[in-house]
Amino acid sequence: MGTQPTSPRALLIPLLVLANLIWLVAMAPGAAATETASSRQALDRLHALLAADKDAPGLPVDDAARTVPLTQPDAAAAQRLLRERQVELIRRRRAAEWRDKAITLGQWTLRFDSRDFGNAPAGRRSLFISLHGGGNAAPAVNDQQWRNQVQLYQPEEGLYVAPRAPTNEWNLWHQEHIDGLFDRLISDAVAMAGVDPNRVYVMGYSAGGDGVYQLAPRMADRWAAASMMAGHPNDASPLNLRNIGFALHVGELDGAYDRNKVGREWGVQLDQLQQADPRGYAHHVEIHPGRGHWMNREDASAVPWMAQFTRDPLPARVVWRQDDVAQPRLYWLAAPADQRRPGATIIAARDGQTIDIEQADDVAQVTVMLNDDMVNLDRPVTIAYRGRRLFREIAPRTLATIQQTLAQREDPELTFSAAVTVEIPQ
């Protein structure tokens, strides 16, 4: 009688058993005890430095403890310690800018006014950033537009902030300095006003709407939702809006700069994106009948619409297209400085222990940032590009990655303990 051929499944089972045995050997009691001891020593080193130096944000970059692999409990403890110190430093060093309602970074100053609504507890408050119109006008005109914006909308709950654009140019809200100023505004509001970083919203009218068209996708991982009122997108793309809510309001008769026409076109684009990716691109597009540039406050319906959304800081799928103002990272993806070119696109999805990079256009390297809310970092993580495996190892948690990612965004929800950089096959 002939021998039956061995099925692929029968061959696979012994290989899986062997892989598990290798992992178990690596995690033998002696090795595990050594790793646990070195991890605890690194955490103790952090404790000691923070206790000794009230101005230290973390370990110095040349400290060997920064690269020691950490256990999950020690990584979590380190992140809590570092975030507590970060909040302490923000409250101490930025109290004046929050009190005076003026944030200065370099040569740019962002003044703002604010109003409080509702009584949500600290840590659960919403933040609405509302951008005024005007632009390409005398300072007094833009000041008047700013004062109007302060009173324009009233959320049921939250801190409503209307900033004054740092310049008086036509592109008030999408110049390069805006990103850092808004990052600082959000960080201050979280640390000093009890804002929930997962409930931050941006909206804007006219030139402010121009800014929302640009900033909503460009800074997508900061927002839970965004609303554009009576603006024009210029060269913006909706691709990055995959994981936020996006509302668009424009008057049917608002023909200047083809605002009405372009608004309809964006509605079609968003419909098509959602049809191709049904779990993403939540949107609401409203062309207001009989209205021109002023919609008689009918657009205020966008405020409660946005408020129903909460940010997912670790979405299962990320679509990232670089704007002409480059971003170093979006959600759990990052790119090196020399590859942040306009139009460069990365699309990646995560499922269990696997990260699949579906698309990488004009990008040669991709960094995937990881934490224990995304994967089990005590087990191997697989990173693949179009079915080709690029990485399959345990990605170590380190203080260096925690410190770096926390410092970059000052956002506890977008802090990671491990990072893996892969080369994209060309």
Same domain, 210 and 66: no
Candidates 235, 242, 198; CA nearest to 220 is 242
Q: Is the pLDDT of residue 383 over 90?
A: yes
Same domain, 276 and 260: yes
What number is the average pLDDT over the span 171-184? 97
Nearest Cα to 381, choosing from 416, 342, 344, 353? 353
Examine residue 398 and state whether it is found in any structural domain, yes or no.
yes
Per-position DSSP letters for 336-397, written without gaps between them: -GGG--TT-EEEEEEETTEEEEEEEET-SEEEEEE-TTTS-TTS-EEEEETTEEEEEE---B
| pTM as predicted | 0.91
* Per-residue confidence (pLDDT) for residue 29, from 0 to 100: 54
Write out the two tokens for 142: 């833009």
Average pLDDT over residues 387-408: 97
Assess whether 225 and 118 both reside in one domain: yes
Q: Answer yes or no: is pLDDT of 27 > 80.
A: no
Least confident of 15-19, 131-135, 171-175, 422-426: 15-19
- β-strands 245-251, 225-229: how paired? parallel
Provide the b/e sequence for 196-223 (b: ≥16 CB within 10 Å).
bbbbbbbbbbbbbbbbbbbbbbbbbbbb
pLDDT, one tens digit per residue, over 286-307 is: 999 999 999 999 999 999 999 9
Q: Among residues of the chain, what percentage have pLDDT more than 90?
A: 91
Q: Which domain holds residue 244?
A: 95-307
Q: Are 195 and 159 within 8 A, CB to CB?
A: yes
CATH of the domain at 240: 3.40.50.1820
Same domain, 255 and 321: no
Task: Tell me the mean pLDDT in the region 118-141.
Answer: 95
Question: Cβ distance 209 to 262 under 8 Å?
Answer: no
CB 161 within 8 A of CB 190: no
Nearest Cα neighbor of 76 from 386, 420, 381, 377 is 377
Q: Is residue 196 part of a domain?
A: yes
Do 43 and 51 form a contact (C-beta atoms < 8 A)? no
Looking at the fold, whether 149 and 262 belong to one and the same domain comes out as: yes
Least confident of 23-37, 57-71, 99-113, 262-276: 23-37
CA dihedral 264, 267, 272, 273 (to 10 degrees): 140
Contact by Cβ (8 Å): 110, 166 = yes
User: Is residue 34 assigned to a domain?
Assistant: no
Provide the pLDDT for residue 13.
41
Whether the predicted pLDDT of 23 surpasses 70:
no
Q: How many residues in total does the chain contain?
A: 426
3-state secondary structure (DSSP) of residue 33: helix
For residues 235 and 364, membership in a common domain is answered with no
What is the Cα–Cα distance from 128 to 299, expressed in whole angstroms? Answer: 15
- Residues 6 or more apart from 422 whose CB is under 8 A from it? 357, 365, 366, 367, 368, 383, 385, 390, 391
Cα–Cα distance measured from residue 241 to residue 128, given in angstroms and rounded to the nearest whole number: 18
Q: Are strands 125-131 and 317-321 parallel, antiparallel or unpaired?
A: unpaired
Residue 280 and residue 333 share a domain: no
Place of tokens 């703002």: 112
Average pLDDT over residues 353-379: 97
Side chain identity at 337, as an amino acid letter?
Answer: A
End residue of a domain, out of 307, 335, 370: 307
320 and 416 co-located in one domain? yes
Instruction: Identify whether residues 283 and 381 lie together within a single domain.
Output: no
Number of structural domains (the chain) is 2
Final residue in a domain of this structure, among 307, 324, 345: 307
What is the pLDDT, as a whole number, of residue 6? 43
- Identify which has the larger pLDDT, 56 or 2: 56
User: Are 289 and 321 part of one and the same domain?
Assistant: no
278 lies in the same domain as 422: no
pLDDT at position 426 is: 83
Residue 402 has pLDDT above 70, yes or no: yes
pLDDT tens readout for residues 190-243: 999 999 999 999 999 999 999 999 999 999 999 999 999 999 999 999 999 999
- Looking at residues 75-99, what average pLDDT do you find? 98
Report pLDDT for 30. 59
- Decide if 5 is inside a domain: no
User: Amino acid letter at 133?
Assistant: G
Domain assignment of residue 10, yes or no: no
Q: How far apart are CA 243 and CA 117, in angstroms?
A: 26
Give me the amino acid identity at 81. L
Angstrom distance (rounded) from CA 129 to CA 107: 22
Question: Could you say which of 257, 279, 307 is where a domain stops?
Answer: 307
Are residue 117 and residue 173 in the same domain, yes or no?
yes
φ, ψ for residue 419, nearest 5 deg: -150, 140
Report the percent of the chain where pLDDT is more than 70.
Answer: 92
Q: Please say if the pLDDT value at position 161 is more than 60.
A: yes
Burial class (CB in 10 A: 0-12, 13-18, 19+), 104: middle
Better-scored residue on pLDDT, 19 or 361: 361
